[in-house]
Structure 1
Amino acid sequence: MSFPTPLQNTALPLPGGKGELPALGFGTLIPDPVMAKRAIKAALRVGFRHIDAAEAYRNEDVVGEALQEAFAEGTLTRGELFVTTKLWNNNHRPERVGPALDASLRRLRLDQVDSYLIHTPFAFQPGDEQYPKGEDGQPLYDDGVSLLDTWRAMERLVDAGKCRFIGLSDVRLDAVKAIYTAARIKPAVVQVECHPYLPEWELLEFCQQHGIVLLAFAPLGHGMEPRVLNDPVIVDIAQREHRTPAQVALAWAVQRGAAILTTSTSLDHIRENFDVSALSEESLARMRHDISTRVRLNKVVDTGLPGFIPRAQGA
């Protein structure tokens, strides 16, 4: 009798042999601060060791409180935790990049983050407004700065010891290739929407060839239509392998060499999303060849406006 191989301790090597990214990560896009803090602490107790935050989520202070309480309670030490946060679009100008990370560090109550990502490749007009827009209601973009300009400023943060690794988010393959070619410090992580309906095989292959970790957000489809977890192939595999559809989708992601982020305020779902075990080779082949639906749920790669982040009325 064979037993499934647990994937909870899987970690993916980062460039230069200087660290690993836990394959199972917990995202902090939870608008309610009380629920967010409770969920983050629960995720850490369950065993998650990667916490993903962002300036744009407007709750880094809540994340910081949760982390400090978890450290004080002995749930884990800072050295056992990998922390990511992200630079928002209105801070792409090189002179704004360092102060933006300093502000994130103060809110997170940390001296250093493990990974700092450019949240999207789109630069908005610099300033304090998160979503600057013109009279037509469309975003006001900043044509005076390039993605490479911002990347150079990110590299200086690594030099200064404020972050260990840098990377990109919500980006297409062509932009990843361009930054990789020009970069002095190569991207360590590329975070994108990725799930069985948007497998991003070409991007994954490029990342693996160049020592970059592909970090998948919305790996369960974010509960949107068409629902990934209702796919008949995934449902059938779950029944055959005595898993839930969510565990099938997450195992598929990790076994093909990606890291993932899940988010939930339910303790049962947090536990379910961490209790991930390897699928059979037959099931992996079915996931690749028998699922034909292809859909992108978040249009952020086209506009720089994340579809999953709630925006204030009129923003």
Structure 2
Amino acid sequence: MADKIDPAKVPSVKLPSGTKIPCIGMGTFGSDRYSPDEVSAAVGGAIRLGYRLFDCASVYGNEDLIGEVFDDAFKSGVVKREELFITSKVWNDMHARGDVLLALAKTLRDLKLDYVDAYFVHWPFPNYHAPHCDGDARNPDSVPFSADQFMRTWEEMEKIHRLGLAKHICMSNMTIPKFDAVLSRCKVKPALIEMELHPAFQQSELFDYCVKHNITPIGYCPIGSPNRPDRDKTPGDVIDTELPEVAAVAKAHNIHPALVCLKWQVQRGSIPIPFSVHEKNYASNLAAVIGDPLTDAEMASIAKADKNCRLVKGQVFLWPGAKGWEDLWDLDGTITK
């Protein structure tokens, strides 16, 4: 087993509530490549190694086995519940009135928890797709984003927050126009946002917007997610670890380019959640954020490497009449108020 890393040495970010969240976590979305047993085993290894942030979701299909790992870790004294920051997400088919509470109740039962530290609206619309579908799949019941519909869901999120079942409520896969349409209507503001972030897709405008509004970004696909589902792979996708700027920094620090991507994101102010079932990889991911920082010049160099290359385009959520995946991200210039 890799050497354990003292969690106290891992930098943290303070949320508006005063709660601290580790600056790096482990994602658990691997259902298209790995079995729930493999993912949950990696979570167990990561806890023992020193990880304290875990990003879960009901749609990943593995929360029940991850819950057994959490329960065992608590009972065996490896870690205390309050030492972990555990997140989950409500899936798109559970946006209706009352469904958010039902969804969270199942997640809490599966994860064997009394509360989650953060609960996200996974996607900002109720568009459902079947697990493991291909990129051409479409649901005829899918609809464009509606601020009114979203706020009905967010009001349900605010209820679970008042009940103490979710310490923080959060959003994911948002855009600036969507935020502009709903933020002023939120009684409880989102503490975190999950968004695709990596050197080839830096989303600087959205990133700065979130920071301005005290919403801490969590970055998924932080190294370009080479094992992402096949439906999310398209010709012309950029490979982050092969970017010349990233490769040059990796050579200067004598580390793998993937670790440069993680260092860059942490120093920028976001929280990467890389996923791997291989101990060697998730151990080096955690160790990467401790010491040996990138220089200002190296950070500036990587900032210029942005290729605006979105990897998770979300085309399976498109509604009848949509022109393309760009419509999901408000790139057509319109938004439903």
* TM-score of the two chains, using structure 2 as the length reference: 0.81
Query: What's the CA shift string for 1:226-258, capped at 9, x where partnerless?
Result: 211111111111111222211111011011110
The equivalent residue for 2:213 is 210
Deviation of residue 179 (structure 1)? 2.6
> Is the 1:56–1:130 Cα contact (8 Å) retained in structure 2?
no
The alignment of Structure 1 onto Structure 2 pairs a total of residues equal to: 293
Deviation of residue 8 (structure 1)? 5.5
The equivalent residue for 2:262 is 250
The equivalent residue for 1:310 is none
Q: Which amino acid aligns with 2:263?
A: A
Q: Which amino acid aligns with 2:287?
A: D
1:13 aligns with 2:25: no
The equivalent residue for 1:95 is 98
Partner of residue 298 from structure 1, selected from 303, 312, 328: 312
Query: What's the CA shift string for 1:243-279, capped at 9, x where partnerless?
Result: 2211111011011110110100111001111111421
The equivalent residue for 1:313 is none
Partner of residue 148 from structure 1, selected from 133, 148, 151: 151
Identity %: 30
Q: Which amino acid aligns with 1:294?
A: N
Give the distance between the partners of 1:8 and 1:301, measured in 2 at CA.
Answer: 40
Deviation of residue 33 (structure 1)? 2.0
* Stretches of structure 1 lacking an aligned partner (at least 5 in a row): 1-5, 308-315
Secondary structure of the structure 1 residue equivalent to 2:159: helix
Alpha-carbon spacing, 1:233–1:150, altered in 2? closer, same or farther (3 Å): same
Secondary structure of the structure 2 residue equivalent to 1:197: coil
What is the correspondence of 1:116-155 to structure 2 with a 5 Å cutoff?
116-124=119-127, 130=130, 138-139=138-139, 140-141=141-142, 146-155=149-158
Alpha-carbon spacing, 1:217–1:304, altered in 2? closer, same or farther (3 Å): farther
1:283 aligns with 2:298: yes
> Is the 2:29–2:56 Cα contact (8 Å) retained in structure 1?
yes
> Is the 1:114–1:165 Cα contact (8 Å) retained in structure 2?
yes
What is the correspondence of 1:144-223 to structure 2 with a 5 Å cutoff?
146-223=149-226
Q: Which amino acid aligns with 2:25?
A: G
Give the distance between the partners of 2:83 and 2:180, measured in 1 at CA.
Answer: 31
* TM-score of the two chains, using structure 1 as the length reference: 0.86
> Is the 1:8–1:24 Cα contact (8 Å) retained in structure 2?
no
What is the correspondence of 1:64-79 to structure 2 with a 5 Å cutoff?
64-79=67-82
Q: Give the alignment's Cα RMSD to 1 decimal.
A: 2.5
Deviation of residue 304 (structure 1)? 7.0
Q: Which amino acid aligns with 2:307?
A: T
Alpha-carbon spacing, 1:186–1:89, altered in 2? closer, same or farther (3 Å): same
Q: Which runs of 4+ in 1 moved over 4 A?
A: 142-145
Deviation of residue 12 (structure 1)? 1.4
The equivalent residue for 1:226 is 238
Alpha-carbon spacing, 1:269–1:149, altered in 2? closer, same or farther (3 Å): same
The equivalent residue for 1:25 is 25
Deviation of residue 30 (structure 1)? 2.7
* Stretches of structure 2 lacking an aligned partner (at least 5 in a row): 1-6, 227-232, 320-324, 326-337
Secondary structure of the structure 1 residue equivalent to 2:117: strand
The equivalent residue for 2:278 is 266
Give the distance between the partners of 1:13 and 1:171, measured in 2 at CA.
Answer: 22
Give the distance between the partners of 2:150 and 2:277, measured in 1 at CA.
Answer: 34
> Is the 2:218–2:273 Cα contact (8 Å) retained in structure 1?
yes
> Is the 2:138–2:317 Cα contact (8 Å) retained in structure 1?
no
The equivalent residue for 2:114 is 111
